[in-house]
Structure 1
């Protein structure tokens, strides 16, 4: 029997420190800022369960709160839950804070939490974390502010899993998400999908004194150059996803700063395994050997990246397997595999978009190398708007853009488990699925690391994705903004900036 324990820590972050002047000064209340993300479409949502991109995550964390939160070291810290405890990693007791109110004045109770957790299992909800929620055997109210969550099997990562934006708590029975009724730091003022979200300070937020800003407007500027221009002109005060090529420009401004956060974010070449061409194992291996990782790191990311190896677990993760030999850029080996696949000389469309960081340039490099060995790649550049709903995973060859997740289990569950809704490549491996459960169930850390290491081998060998580098996160912001700290889960403090930042006078 495991000893009774509270909130569990996550992995070591390895994040870079924020500039020193961000750590000085007393927070002040007031002010309004505009923040530019990169993604906007008519599919923008106020339903946390359906959040699937960086703009959704920012919106969710502005309006809602989770049972737990992630700190800069990717450890679970208390959120709406004061404690989450277990004796066996199967039955978890969740005790809620007193006095928390939804934006409509309703008090938070155990019923809201039970509803919020179990709704992810309903296929009609369309939850992005349905595959993760399948391990919830049940949730029941024990008292007005106490919930018992029972799993289908042990999982020590539950506290950190519950910090994900999709698991933010909604009102019991809530099905209409044309408006937002959360417990987050801001209330909704206006929402126009594909255009903007405006939120105002929640005076009844459960964290005393927070948030500091009166109002935040969230917009999207998909084009990076336009996004940086908007920052430097003062049209917006914070931008996500600054290109490495723009860093020098921003730093040259006396009014602006850059924050770099080391991360496990990656842009990957997605080769659908349910298509007869891209599902050919020789084709997959050939394409992986065509990825010029050194060139991509040096030319596209100006060194703000770490070489990757077609495995989704980054060196920041304690379960990272460093024993997998680095796959080299090798056109001759690529030609061998592609010839064996019978696809040399074939014309294949590849879909790229600014929505998937640097995929346009990666596609051009890949096209050039492919042409030299007789493979014809037709690069189709499509707009950011609607890319994730219209093109990603809808064509045999696309690019994805996957953010760091706080645990290995969550990364595997969301993107590689056979039944995961965002299994990009449609890669199905029953042995992998079985090992995922085995890793959760073992209490032996060394054994769990060995299992996760073998699973990384499996993706490296046969997974339908090519990951060239792990990308550092680069945020640009007005020098007057204070309170920013790196969180490797994503840009702008893992998308949680809203409750933390303030404007210096």
Structure 2
């Protein structure tokens, strides 16, 4: 409120009004304050108009939020190391904290860490913020950080980021508030890596995850895997601002239309990841709006290299030419996507290989390759599900294109419930859905290294594995970029993953829900919305 102020109005008065707004002052209260300060009614009206706008953007405390994601499973977990679905990420980021977080520009910010320092990108010293309490009342110390990080190295834990964490050769407490990490090889990305959802900090010695004992903005009241969770505000949260909600309930509604209908009827205030077809239901609805994030989410067609038909020379290349990327972008995703080139580093990332061209849609070329593979005349199953965004529509497009060249594909639509545990990574030809990751190293380590936990096509290359290690230690940005470009070409040409488009994450929300912003880790504010949003009264 600095423009068109009365001549007797000062910066101090601006602060007074803003503080009054934050304390919950009504419009009548503000008007009395203005008149007491000698402001004319006409000038005061202009100030109040700007105050109204400021009030709309000022967090309000209180209220109960009901939010719905799109995937759930009886394997839902409160163990950050084992988290694999967006549902897990939402809950875990509400109950626990990380050492670092990424802001909406992808920049690293401190969370539990107060400082992170290195002189060589190999030996790192992390200073923790003091006087942070777990929900149990225990005070955070370096022992909790050491325990949390070392769990990822224990294969019996089953950490989803074991392949990333194992670069931490030494993890030790220097004192109560200082941790030293020595990497096997230099990696300048460590502060970014520590911002991943899996590296949330738990209390030393925790083995029971039937509930959550974290330092997070919310306390777990109810956790029913595959059903719902209820969380209440942490009254002892260490941050000066937030959380604003008194409580929130989170569950999954796998069907897109049902999720939108729940929002339209007022049963929920946030519907995560709405597909393009369901967006039509929101047209003309003044009480809802959308939040769009394009940061690298994608649905990919996975063809396992170790199973037929993917093991047959030519089949995968044929599939890459049979996928009509432009039709997927324009028709299936209704323009809310960017065309992909069969590798996971999107155009939102500074290391994206912009010169790597996507395969052309060429059914005749695909037919020739299928003949070479000896699969013409066979019926090839393609497993798809609502669990993987737009995968059913993509599968039908492939099926239609195949029928025009005499190739038969059997689209097997399976339930969303249990898809990730029963079909993903297992079926010879199936779809996946990968959430954004902030660095190429993380994407390659999770998805394409020979020992990657989510190696969707069972791509294995010793040369590629060596390049992962070499690239992460390069301090020369140009050399690092050149290596990442080469690795993207290797994935596009040798792996069995077809990535036709990078999808925009579209969340639908009530206009009363405020504070939701884009984040490079994905939709729903990088799955951390609960701490930052508020409900207008």
Find the partner of 1:307 among 308, 333, 339: 339
2:26 paired residue number: none
Superimposed CA distance per residue, residues 192-226 of structure 1 (whole angstroms, 9 cap, x where no aligned partner): 11110100000111112310001100010000000
Find the partner of 1:234 among 266, 274, 280: 266
* Unmatched runs of 5 consecutive residues or more in structure 2: 1-52
Show the 5 A alignment for 1:397-408.
397-408=429-440
2:369 paired residue number: 337
Matched, 1:451 2:483: yes
Show the 5 A alignment for 1:127-142.
127-142=159-174
Matched, 1:439 2:471: yes
1:426 paired residue number: 458
When residues 185 and 71 of structure 1 are mapped into structure 2, their CA distance, relative to the original with a 3 A threshold, is same
1:381 paired residue number: 413
Contact 1:36-1:220 at 8 Å conserved across structures: yes
When residues 418 and 190 of structure 1 are mapped into structure 2, their CA distance, relative to the original with a 3 A threshold, is same
1:288 paired residue number: 320
1:176 paired residue number: 208
Contact 2:72-2:85 at 8 Å conserved across structures: no
Contact 1:34-1:237 at 8 Å conserved across structures: yes
Secondary structure, aligned partner of 1:166: helix
When residues 356 and 22 of structure 1 are mapped into structure 2, their CA distance, relative to the original with a 3 A threshold, is farther
Contact 1:118-1:138 at 8 Å conserved across structures: no
Superimposed CA distance per residue, residues 442-470 of structure 1 (whole angstroms, 9 cap, x where no aligned partner): 21110000100000000111111001110
Secondary structure, aligned partner of 1:393: coil
When residues 95 and 281 of structure 1 are mapped into structure 2, their CA distance, relative to the original with a 3 A threshold, is farther
Distance across 2 between alignment mates of 1:151 and 1:281:
39
TM-score normalised by the chain length of structure 1: 0.95
Secondary structure, aligned partner of 1:471: strand
Matched, 1:478 2:510: yes
Distance across 2 between alignment mates of 1:284 and 1:128:
27
Contact 1:262-1:473 at 8 Å conserved across structures: yes
Contact 2:342-2:358 at 8 Å conserved across structures: no
Distance across 2 between alignment mates of 1:135 and 1:454:
22
1:185 paired residue number: 217
Distance across 1 between alignment mates of 2:276 and 2:140:
43
Please report how far the alpha carbon of residue 251 of structure 1 lies from its aligned counterpart in structure 2 after TM superposition. 4.1
Distance across 1 between alignment mates of 2:125 and 2:284:
52
Find the partner of 2:394 among 353, 362, 366: 362
Higher relative contact order (CA 8 A, sep 6+): 1
Find the partner of 1:150 among 176, 182, 199: 182
Distance across 2 between alignment mates of 1:460 and 1:25:
44
Distance across 2 between alignment mates of 1:448 and 1:257:
40
Distance across 1 between alignment mates of 2:188 and 2:433:
27
Distance across 1 between alignment mates of 2:60 and 2:351:
41
Contact 1:22-1:484 at 8 Å conserved across structures: no
Matched, 1:111 2:147: no
Contact 2:276-2:333 at 8 Å conserved across structures: yes
Find the partner of 2:61 among 17, 25, 29: 29
Superimposed CA distance per residue, residues 308-327 of structure 1 (whole angstroms, 9 cap, x where no aligned partner): 11111111111111112331
1:16 paired residue number: none
2:6 paired residue number: none
Matched, 1:259 2:291: yes
Please report how far the alpha carbon of residue 69 of structure 1 lies from its aligned counterpart in structure 2 after TM superposition. 0.4
Distance across 1 between alignment mates of 2:427 and 2:233:
42
2:281 paired residue number: 249
Matched, 1:57 2:89: yes
Distance across 2 between alignment mates of 1:281 and 1:482:
52
* Runs of 4+ residues deviating >3 angstroms: 21-24
Distance across 2 between alignment mates of 1:199 and 1:57:
14
When residues 348 and 278 of structure 1 are mapped into structure 2, their CA distance, relative to the original with a 3 A threshold, is same
2:350 paired residue number: 318
Backbone CA RMSD of aligned residues = 1.3
Distance across 2 between alignment mates of 1:325 and 1:234:
44
Contact 1:281-1:462 at 8 Å conserved across structures: no
Find the partner of 1:463 among 487, 495, 500: 495
* Unmatched runs of 5 consecutive residues or more in structure 1: 1-20
Please report how far the alpha carbon of residue 53 of structure 1 lies from its aligned counterpart in structure 2 after TM superposition. 1.1
